[in-house]
Every structure is written in structure tokens, then in C-alpha cells.
Amino acid sequence: MKPHSRVPEQNDLLRPRLVEMIDPRHELVKLAALIDWEFFEREWAGFFPSKTGRPATSPRLIAGLMYLQHAFRLSDEAVVARWVENPYYQYFTGETFFQHRLPIDPSSLVRWRKRIGEEGVEWLLTKTIEAGRNSGTITDKALKRVAVDTTVMEKNIAHPTDARLYERARVLLVGLAKKAGIDLRQSYARLAPRLAIQVGRYAHARQFKRMRKPLRQLRGYVGRVRRDLRRHLQDIPQGPLREKVLDALWLVGRLLEQGPKSRDKLYSLHEPEVDCISKGKARVRYEFGAKVSLATTLDGSLIVGARSFPGNPYDGHILAPALEQVEILTDTRPTLAVVDRGYRGHGVETTCVLISGQRRGITPVLAKLLKRRSAIEPEIGHMKSDGRLARCPLMGRTGDALFAVLCACGHNICKILAHIRALWDIVIRLILSIIAENDRQIRMPNAA
């Protein structure tokens, strides 16, 4: 059932009001006034078509928790726990009185993300862009000039090695066989872990010829368990368990058939859609995750576009969809986009695109703007080190799409909060200078 509008709370002499506990000059208090919270109540109501059942949680509470979670690098459990302790968090999410209990179960955030999808989280990003314009962090003119770049958002998986994948596949098949009540001829529960450890020791000692023999044996164990379980497939009745067994058999078969140079290799059993991406970094040769395109304004470096692209596509082919998303989120078509040399052959004609190192048709003004392209690099670094973009814990390609946009929301919230703090510091210094000047003028006649 769709969420109901929150009923205005009456005065309660026995409960402390948040406005009496917090500083109205705090940046979260000021930011709460810049965001159009009623928009989420109107738009997110469409994700609840049913008219029966218990009303959903307040959309402002969910939107505020998602903002705080990604602005301060918190997990679902941590942001809900900190909400109980922090009155500013409670005020930001629309509470009137201080609450002493958890507002929701942390698993509710998971269900909300699945329900609103990529469209819903893009609305969150849109409102941060509007808040940036209202606070003066960026101007309307800044939205017409953007910088676009790609990065890799790694998935929350272990580094893939053949020995680890074979051992995980064996454990998966043996576990499913036990759930189905199937007695396997041999589970290799004693021999397989020893072989996996032996493979790791040989690899550490760089004795790769010796490593291949136990690796072949381990692969043979997994194949035997798979064939044994497939022979008993007819004994498993129709149902969810049978579907799980079929999916596991297909994944393990794909793992056993792939070679060193195969395409669409399997790097994780619980995240089979992970891509192996090489960005030419000296410190990290390969990264396992999804490619994410980010667009920032040249002035202010506010994130105005964030989108994940599965399959490791060429950068030039994703420039047009990235600029289209910027136009949708900001309601402004970018007139200028600056990119690096990886975007050559982009084919974009509606926007003027400048590529690093370009010499033809470059005026002094455009050359100055082109130098601003590198400003997006530290923004990506902050999103990974200070934010949560470095590792995606959400499942599947849908999780990649949602997480990239939510990380952009958190980065924008941090920049707006920093801008509000800077403005307040300027006001305080101005007031102190005026007071000091008045005191000086008062002392001068007395000294004379």
C-alpha cells in the first residue's frame, strides 16, 4: 500500500522537540530546507499500486536515510543505528520530536531500493542538483559545461583464482545435494581443501609447473561431483530447489569449460555478471566490477550524471547515453563536454566535445576550459576514498546501476554541506570584523 502523508504531530510536553535541541545554523538543518521532500511523496507513491495492506514507510525518511548513508559512508545497519543517536539526522528526515527507537528495520532499505529502481534513485540525484543550485554551490550556467570520464566500480567479491573458484563450486554443489537429500558417491571434503591450499603455496613460490597438477586434480573433483549430482537430477521434485540446482549446474559447467583466453569468463559464482576491466593502472592491472560513467560540471564539480554500463563497452560508445542522462536530470542540454582521449570516435553531434590533446579548432577560451577536464579525476578519487564508490555491495547489474547513482547523491550532499559551512564561516568572519572595527572606533576617541 502506498505511503500516507504524515499527520502533523501535536505539542507534547513530555517529549523533547528537536528544534529545542539542535543548532539552527547547522549545515544539515539548512540543507533540509533546500530539498523538495514532497516530491518523493508524490512520485514514489506510484511504486505502490496496491490499495490494501499496511501503508509504506514515509518516503522522506527513506530518502533522508539514503542521503545520509552515502554522504557519511555508512551501511544500512549503521545509518539506522546512528539515526537514533543523532538529533540532526532525525530532523533531516522530518521528525518533530526526538525518537528513542529504530525508525525501520535496516532490511527495509533493501526492499525500497528494489521497488524504486534506477528511476527512483535518479530522482534523488536530481534533487541534490536542485539543492546545489538553490544553495549557490553551482549556477545554471555551470550546468551547460560538463566533464565526462569513466571509472571502475569494483564488486564485493574475492580476487578470482582458479583454485578458489573450483573449491567454491564444489562446496556449492555438495551443499545443494545435502538440501535435496542426495547421497553423493564422494564429496571430496577432505582432499579438495588440501589441494586448494597446495595450489596457493605453489603459486606463492612461483612454481607454476608444479601448480598445474593439483589444479587439474581439483578441477577433476568438481567435474565428478557435478556429474554425480546431474545423474540424480530426476530425483529432485519440481520447485525452487530444483531451479537452484539447475542454475548451479549450469554455472559450474561454464566454469569448467572456460579457458585462460575465453570470453565472458566467470569470476564469481554469486556474482556471475562481473566484468574484468583493465584501465592501464600500474598499481592495479585488473579490476573486477562494472564500468561507471560520471559527469561533473566544470565549475563547482557537482555530479550531474552517473550511470553504470555492463559488459565493459568502449568509452566513446557510452558518451551519448551519458550526456542524455545529464540532460534528463538537469533539464539542460550540455553545450560543451570535455573528455579524455579514450572517447575518440564518440559520434556525438548535439554537443561540442573537446578531447584532451586536441589542437584543431581550439580557441584560447576553449583551451582554458579543456584544462579543467582533469578536475574530474580528484572527484572520482574522493568518491572512492571518502565515499562508497570503491566497492559495490549490492547484487547484480541492477545493484550496480543503483549504487553508482546513490554514490553520486552522497558526493553532491558532501559538496553542498561544505559550501554551506564555507558561507557560514564567511558570515562569522564578517560579523567579527564589524565588531572589531566598532570597538576600534570606540577606543580611538577615548584615547584622544
65 vs 68: CA distance, rounded Å: 5
Give Cα 432 distance to the centre of its chain: 42
pLDDT of residue 280: 82
For 333-387, write each residue's pLDDT tens digit: 999 999 999 899 888 888 999 998 888 778 888 888 888 899 999 999 999 999 9
User: Count of residues for the chain?
Assistant: 448
pLDDT of residue 445: 61
For 21-68, write each residue's pLDDT tens digit: 899 989 999 999 999 999 998 888 888 887 788 888 889 999 999 999
C-alpha grid cell, residue 150: 569513466
Q: Is the pLDDT of residue 444 over 80?
A: no
Confidence of residue 284 (pLDDT cuts 50, 70, 90): confident
In order of their start, the domains of the chain are 18-131 (no CATH), 136-157+288-393 (3.30.420), 162-257 (no CATH)
pLDDT of residue 6: 67
Q: Is the pLDDT of residue 447 over 60?
A: no
For 64-84, write each residue's pLDDT tens digit: 999 999 999 999 999 999 999
Has this prediction a pTM greater than 0.95? no
Which residues of 76-177 form beta strands (DSSP E)? 145-155
**26-30-34 Cα angle (round to 5):** 160
191 vs 25: CA distance, rounded Å: 65
Beta bridge partners of 147: 296, 338
